[in-house]
Amino acid sequence: MKNCEYQQIDPRALSVSPLSAQNPAEKKVQRPRRKWEAFPGKNRFFCDGRLILARQNGVLPLTLGLIVVTSGLFFAFDCPFLVEHLTVCIPVIGGVLFLFVVASLLRTSFTDPGILPRATADEAADIERQIDTSGSSTYRPPPRTKEILINQQVVKLKYCFTCKMFRPPRTSHCSLCDNCVERFDHHCPWVGNCVGKRNYRYFYSFIISLSFLTSFIFACVITHITLRSQAKKGIVQAVQESPASVVELVICFFSIWSILGLSGFHTYLVASNLTTNEDIKGSWSGKRGAEESGNPYTYSNIITNCCATLCGPMPPSLIDRRGFLPPDEAIPAAAASEMELPPFTPKSDANMEENCQEFSLSCTA
């Protein structure tokens, strides 16, 4: 490359110039496209691929709105009274909880849940070849499954027709997002995203902190109304003076049941290293036959299960949203991982070499 006259040209323009002979349609690629722009699943991307959300983002604005409004009312109407009569710690604790809840929620919503990229054409062809050993081509083959042994237990892997690969264990295809997600838990409309391997811990901390926040606000509002009614000798008058408290009470009362229930359920799941998907389907409940088919993924120790699920190493995003697309889609992407610009230059060189090679081959052919 040192002898090449391309040396002086800006790498981004390089992806256009050697190909102009081959692809006349390249003129639209004046700026290099990032991979998120060509992502096949039903997702939305923000901040140039840094944030990912499901296309059907459900009621995320409602969730955020409810949390912000309730907390806002709490800080505006209940805190002044409580600070005066009790302690200044109350708004401080409330503030910390509120920030934690919002941070966890945003993290859950905007993090890649563990989406598996779809198989490349070569991979898909290779798998097809391995499956179609015998059998006529006139009828569609039966649903493809593969049985494997995990910790001496038989697990069936299903073939995903959309992603063209055998799904790894604990992976499920979300029909709303049209992606295979690793360690798929569920698609949460409140959060507007799937909950999977990479964002389960954020989801869990969101519901736990939300339980604390709603219980805290509920307790404080009750205390507020009680103190006020004692002072004014009448609960009706107390409520009249602070109507916002009633709104908060209603919201908290109805949320507490569901949030606390959900927290309890997910604590059980974390302790037994299960996903909602597996629990609902009863994959490991020992229904089949007399043999006790336990969960092959559990560490048989609650503490270890909790630590593994919540504090384990953070796996990287496999979909490389911010990598650049090669100018010619037919060439497999010589992509870097999450690192953005520094490896870009060698990547475009590699592509250019391949293109030059093809060009030279076609000339000599």
What whole-number distance in Å separates Cα of residue 15 and Cα of residue 331?
A: 13
Q: Give the alpha-carbon dihedral of 324, 329, 331, 334, to 10 degrees.
A: 10
Q: Is residue 356 a contact point for other proteins (CB under 8 A)?
A: yes
Q: Which is nearer to other proteins, 106 or 244 (CB)?
A: 106
Q: For this structure, is 188 an active site residue? A: yes
Q: Is residue 361 a contact point for other proteins (CB under 8 A)?
A: yes
Query: Of 103, 176, 260, 325, which lies in the binding site for other proteins, with binding defined by CB under 8 A?
Result: 103
Q: Is residue 333 a contact point for other proteins (CB under 8 A)?
A: yes
Q: Is residue 155 a contact point for other proteins (CB under 8 A)?
A: yes
Of 352, 294, 272, the residue nearest 14 (C-alpha): 352
Q: Is residue 308 a contact point for other proteins (CB under 8 A)?
A: yes
Spatial contact of 217 and 209, defined as CB atoms under 8 Å apart: no
Q: Is residue 297 a contact point for other proteins (CB under 8 A)?
A: yes
Considering only 23-31, 77-85, 264-272, 311-319, which stretch makes contact with other proteins by CB under 8 A?
Answer: 311-319
Q: Which is nearer to other proteins, 179 or 245 (CB)?
A: 179
Q: Is residue 360 a contact point for other proteins (CB under 8 A)?
A: yes
Q: Which of 188, 194, 220, 252 is catalytic?
A: 188
Q: Which residues bind other proteins (CB under 8 A)?
A: 1-5, 99-100, 103-104, 107, 116-117, 119-120, 122-123, 126-127, 148-151, 155, 157, 165, 168-170, 182-183, 201-202, 205, 296-297, 304, 307-308, 310-316, 318-320, 333-335, 337-338, 353-354, 356-357, 359-361, 363
